[in-house]
Structure 1
Amino acid sequence: MTNGIYWLWLATRPRCSARFCGHLLERFGSPEAIWRAEQQEFEDIPRLNKVKMDSLMEKDLTVAQHIEETCRKQDIQIVTLEDERYPQLLREIPDPPLVLYVRGTLPDFTDRVSVSIVGTRKCTRYGKQAAWHFAGNLAQRGVIIVSGMAIGIDGTANRAAIEAGGETVAVLGCGVDVCYPWQHKQLMDDIMQHGAVISEYPPGTEPKGTHFPVRNRIITGLGKGTLIVEAPKKSGALISADLALEQGRDVFAVPGDINRPSSAGCNARIRQGAAELVQEPADILAQYQLTDSRIQRKLQPVKQASIQEMPREKERKKLLRRLEGSEEERTVWCAVHDGQETVDAIVEKTGLPAASVLTALTMLEVGQYIAATESGYQAAADVEL
């Protein structure tokens, strides 16, 4: 029996968080020792309830063996907390994942600068341009860009790093064999060619709303600093910023238009002193050139430049799909594209009967022109009318 089996067994214990399992590892020394322990050996463990106890007393290794076999067949790497490939930065957070599932090539974070870039899904063109500018310029200078591959700022940061010829890592809230959002299938494939997609969730795990706040600690944990590009006052990006501060990491923020709600979170964090204002990639590079001679030799200051344009419009249009559907479907798609996420909002925006809206939404989902998310409907980014 390989030692990895016991790591997989421990990582899949229901209701046993990474932090709780970390306490068990401190007590017992290894996952195998935890697996072999009898019930009485757990009785004085803090925060141990009946559900956790029953979970730890379940010694069946079938699930772990199935995960291991699935990973072997799908060429998914299993990197455990004791593996030398496991990033040291991530080991240092209070609740590091016990296991990372990896597709692609996990960059060597040793003596490298890594920056996590986060922001809202409903970003403006300004936000996308800023994410492209920072991620691209940092990646060109050897910085590993970490993000979440989500629609909006995250996916833009991953893509910009690739286009700049750099390395990037996407942390998923699902299995690494599941593409979410589905619109980013090509991006996911490209990330694996220029870095890695990783997750703490086993292969086949579907995305759930509860997964994403948990995975955010990995995004920030892999970065020496976290950059918030654009975020409203209530957003997952600000939760990530708080996690980064708790982890003792630097937090940077790009200032935004005071009249735009999408910039309110960044501006507030800057005002509160919870994030350092940055206007150019050189601001972030300067922060780390002072701390490591190897980094200083590798990275050179970026000259002040205007925000880079994203891929040319002609090239972008080649990738677009034309929406084939009825006039009602086109009307509904436009409403979703304009930010109407719920059925009620779409009905109010379009003036169409609710039954017609529901029918159109169903057809648009079948055609993959929209996707249903936790917050409502989102329009596919590769569609034109």
Structure 2
Amino acid sequence: MTREVCWIWLAERLGAGSRLCRRLLEAFGSPEEIWRAPREQLAAVSMTRRRLDYLADKDLSYAQHIWDSCVRKHIAVIPLTDTAYPPLLREIADPPTVLYVRGTLPDMRDRLAVSVVGTRRATRYGRHAARYFAGTLAQNGCLIVSGMAAGIDSEANRAALDAGRETIAVLGCGVDVCYPRGSERLMADIIAHGAVISEYPPGADPDGSHFPVRNRIITGLSRGTLVVEAPKKSGALISADLALEQGREVFAVPGDINRPNSAGCNVLIRQGGAELVQSPSDILSYYEHGDSRRVQSVPPGFVQAEEPPERKLAAAVPPAVSAPREMRALEASEQERTVWCAVRDGRHTVDGVVEQTGLSASEVLTALTMLEVGTYVIRTADGYRVADDVQL
């Protein structure tokens, strides 16, 4: 019996999301001693009869089968007490007993990790926002954590990779199972430049009940959780609730009040469950990650690998005389075009745009947020200005 087999046996006997592991370790010291303990001694620890029956079953054959599969497939097994186990995740009330890992789990002891979550049915706005926030946060040193699901999650994981940084994907299935289908390339890239992790053993199918449970791992790994786009009934809102229960910060990107996909984010903000953020610098400055005025911004949809410092400086501070740049067409709704034109005409504040357009303040704010995500307008200390390379 190896140490890993004993840990796997304990994880399988407790099940995902159990809070019993710590109490058992406090009582017996190690999984080996828990395995050796007779039923009478185990009964001294408060638990259900069903759980007691499971722990009284000392058969190690299934655990050995899982371990053999991990060895064959080069899957690491990281127990709760291992030094490689993420410290923030260990702090939550119900940490996974073991983590199964493919790739290289980054050292998270001195790293600001931010989880990015949202709907699977993301709109153009949501996808651009996910890429903008995740890509910029990654290039400024943050570790992006998400779930590799279709929509916001996969956009966040991909943006971090495109920025030349590591990322972590937390699965609701075995780490040898690609879900959703069609994500094989993304999964392979995450394994090559980060880690795919799960508390479910190899071969576990992506059952619907697994995903709400795995969400606590996504938020538990992170100092803060960013909700990019979410309807009122959304798994992303479950993640937000879990993050708050874990004592972590929650941020939300505001959205159009007329779009159902933004309703969850707007409710979170209105009820005080999340900090409203309009740019990655809002999150970075919250954690005092550096001077927000010097944040390296990544245009959504155009996330690139890190450039040499001299090229970054040239991009950040245009010369007095520069070569003509290629102009971009403004791709926006009619309302967003109206707001953009007002900003172009010198209306740099929300009040000024409201006065010129006749739109409500909430409509103007929504349009400005989407225009900023698309880098069609730029927020400054004095308000807003249009980007120099955009035309109607």
2:302 corresponds to 1:302? no
2:61 corresponds to 1:62? yes
Provide the rounded CA distance (Å) in 2 between the counterparts of 1:111 and 1:145. Answer: 14
The question of whether the paired residues in 2 share the 8 Å contact of 1:258 and 1:264 is answered with yes
Render the CA deviation track for 1:118-159: whole Å, top value 9, x for unaligned. Answer: 000011100000000000001111110000000000000000
The question of whether the paired residues in 1 share the 8 Å contact of 2:96 and 2:199 is answered with yes
Matched AA of 1:9: W
- Report what 1:134 is aligned to: 133
Partner SS state of residue 252, structure 1: strand
**Percent identity between the aligned chains?**
62
2:26 corresponds to 1:34? no
The question of whether the paired residues in 2 share the 8 Å contact of 1:286 and 1:301 is answered with no
Provide the rounded CA distance (Å) in 1 between the counterparts of 2:266 and 2:220. Answer: 23
The question of whether the paired residues in 2 share the 8 Å contact of 1:116 and 1:145 is answered with yes
Instruction: For residue 303 of structure 1, report the CA deviation from its aligned partner.
Output: 5.7
Gaps of 5+ in 2: 305-392
Provide the rounded CA distance (Å) in 2 between the counterparts of 1:157 and 1:90. Answer: 20
For the structure 1 residues 82 and 304, does the alpha-carbon distance in structure 2 shift closer, same or farther, using more than 3 Å as the test? closer
Matched AA of 1:170: A
- Report what 2:337 is aligned to: none
Superposition map of 1:213-228 within 5 A:
213-228=212-227
Which TM-score applies when normalising by structure 1? Answer: 0.76
Gaps of 5+ in 1: 290-294, 313-385
2:270 corresponds to 1:274? no
CA RMSD of aligned residues (A): 1.8
Superposition map of 1:214-293 within 5 A:
214-289=213-288
Instruction: For residue 304 of structure 1, report the CA deviation from its aligned partner.
Output: 6.7
For the structure 1 residues 288 and 202, does the alpha-carbon distance in structure 2 shift closer, same or farther, using more than 3 Å as the test? same
Matched AA of 2:64: Q
Matched AA of 1:144: L
Instruction: For residue 45 of structure 1, report the CA deviation from its aligned partner.
Output: 2.7
- Report what 2:377 is aligned to: none
- Work out which of the two has the higher radius of gyration on C-alpha atoms and give 1 or 2: 2
Provide the rounded CA distance (Å) in 1 between the counterparts of 2:47 and 2:26. Answer: 15
Q: What count of residue pairs does the alignment treat as equivalent?
A: 304
Superposition map of 1:176-187 within 5 A:
176-187=175-186
- Report what 1:84 is aligned to: 83
For the structure 1 residues 283 and 256, does the alpha-carbon distance in structure 2 shift closer, same or farther, using more than 3 Å as the test? same
Matched AA of 2:39: Q
Matched AA of 2:77: I
The question of whether the paired residues in 2 share the 8 Å contact of 1:147 and 1:169 is answered with yes
Provide the rounded CA distance (Å) in 2 between the counterparts of 1:109 and 1:14. Answer: 26
- Report what 2:9 is aligned to: 9
Partner SS state of residue 67, structure 1: helix
Instruction: For residue 223 of structure 1, report the CA deviation from its aligned partner.
Output: 0.6
Superposition map of 1:320-335 within 5 A:
none
Which TM-score applies when normalising by structure 2? Answer: 0.75
For the structure 1 residues 37 and 300, does the alpha-carbon distance in structure 2 shift closer, same or farther, using more than 3 Å as the test? farther
The question of whether the paired residues in 2 share the 8 Å contact of 1:253 and 1:278 is answered with yes
* Structure 1 range deviating more: 155-164 or 16-25: 16-25
